[in-house]
């Protein structure tokens, strides 16, 4: 498996086999266990990861940079203003140059209708692994950490779990579709039944939904959609309250005032889409709440729920580190 994954790109987990994903989780779990025992592993000694961020990041930047440090390597924290990207350097030239200088490239570019295409163009010309740190369509690193966290909670057999991915109101910023889309593509492959709740104004991409439905059918599970959050929450085992699509619903996206006003009106019309303790009580008594973070507290989800014993958001965030270590070990080739 090490040889199969060495040098691979990761833009979406949907292009990886379940066996390959399992291998990453297994290596991640072992590295987490070793870290808990105080053992260090210089599996990536003298290796370099280039991290290119077009947007801000807390968990993604720090998990990857810490992963490289803890494995004996080094990560460069780059932004367009530090590179010739700001002067129009092409993806091909960027990919070719960085490929001559290090062992992996990772990029976050969530600009709507731009990010995924940019990452694919980099991958086409890169001679080293390209890792998506999130684009406008997918967030594979978050989905990996979510899966690891769920398996830690429920074991490897996840068949029959009911997962609710629910849109929630937020005002902090327009959040991409990439997290929920990655979740609905991945979770059915592991036997989980997924319910997506969202207002009509904030759908997921129809192409992704169609592909996720195929994945669910292949696995013999259900993927369903509702415009009623409370209906979705009935009997849930896992709940993800998450805002998305404050910009992507409009095709093509533009910055004119009419579009901004329409976006604002749609958000305000759905201000009641919040996970509070009353709604969370509709889920199973031992249900857990998860969130990719940053959460728009008391808009998406109340403090009472997010800070409750049922919340495993910090376990989920920590696992961003361990899954980054497992992934880098396999892709960059440091495994023994």
Average pLDDT of the residues in 223-230: 98
Average pLDDT of the residues in 216-240: 98
Is a pLDDT exceeding 80 seen at residue 86?
Answer: no
Alpha-carbon distances, residue 31 vs 8, 108, 278 (angstroms) = 20, 25, 39
Is a pLDDT exceeding 60 seen at residue 306?
Answer: yes
Average pLDDT of the residues in 100-126: 96
For the chain, where do the domains classified as CATH 3.40.50.1370 start and end? Answer: 2-139+319-332, 140-316
Tokens at 320, concatenated: 């961003």
pTM, to two decimals: 0.95
CATH 3.40.50.1240 fits 2-139+319-332, yes or no: no
Tokens at 283, concatenated: 């889920």
3-state secondary structure of 317: helix
The band of 336, judged by pLDDT with boundaries at 50, 70 and 90, is very low
Name the CATH topology of 140-316.
Rossmann fold (3.40.50)
Maximum pairwise Cα distance, the chain: 57
Average pLDDT of the residues in 218-244: 98
Tell me, what's the pLDDT at 335? 42
Is a pLDDT exceeding 50 seen at residue 229?
Answer: yes
Is a pLDDT exceeding 90 seen at residue 81?
Answer: no
Least confident of 30-34, 194-198, 256-260, 299-303: 256-260
123 neighbors 94 (Cβ within 8 angstroms): no
Q: What is the mean pLDDT of the chain?
A: 93
Is a pLDDT exceeding 80 seen at residue 250?
Answer: no
């Amino acid at each position: 498996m090490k040889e199969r994954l060495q040098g691979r790109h990761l833009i979406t987990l949907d292009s990886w086999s379940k066996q390959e994903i399992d291998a990453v989780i297994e290596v991640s779990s072992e590295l987490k266990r070793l870290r808990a025992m105080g053992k260090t592993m210089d599996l990536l000694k003298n290796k370099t990861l280039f991290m290119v961020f077009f947007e801000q990041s807390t968990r993604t930047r720090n998990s990857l940079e810490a992963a490289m440090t803890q494995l004996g390597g080094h990560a460069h924290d780059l932004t367009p203003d530090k590179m010739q990207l700001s002067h129009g350097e092409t993806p091909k030239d960027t990919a070719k140059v960085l490929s001559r200088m290090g062992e992996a490239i990772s990029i976050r570019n969530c600009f709507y209708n731009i990010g995924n295409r940019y990452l694919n163009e980099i991958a086409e010309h890169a001679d080293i692994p390209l890792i998506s740190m999130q684009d406008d369509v997918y967030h594979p690193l978050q989905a990996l950490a979510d899966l690891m966290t769920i398996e830690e909670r429920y074991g490897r057999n996840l068949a029959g779990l009911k997962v609710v991915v629910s849109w929630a109101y937020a005002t902090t910023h327009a959040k991409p579709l990439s997290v929920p889309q990655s979740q609905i593509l991945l979770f059915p492959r592991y036997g989980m039944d997924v319910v997506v709740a969202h207002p009509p104004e904030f759908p997921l991409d129809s192409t992704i939904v169609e592909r996720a439905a195929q994945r669910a059918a292949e696995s013999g599970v259900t993927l369903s959609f509702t415009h009623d959050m409370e209906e979705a929450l009935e009997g849930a085992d896992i709940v993800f309250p998450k805002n998305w699509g404050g910009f992507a619903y409009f095709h093509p996206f533009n910055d004119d005032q009419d579009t901004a006003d329409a976006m604002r009106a749609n958000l305000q019309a759905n201000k009641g889409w919040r996970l509070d303790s009353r709604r969370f009580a509709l889920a199973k008594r031992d249900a857990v709440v998860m969130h990719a973070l940053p959460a728009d507290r008391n808009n998406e989800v109340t403090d009472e729920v997010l800070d409750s014993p049922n919340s495993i958001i910090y376990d989920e965030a920590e696992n961003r580190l361990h899954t980054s270590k497992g992934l880098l070990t396999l892709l960059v080739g440091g495994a023994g």
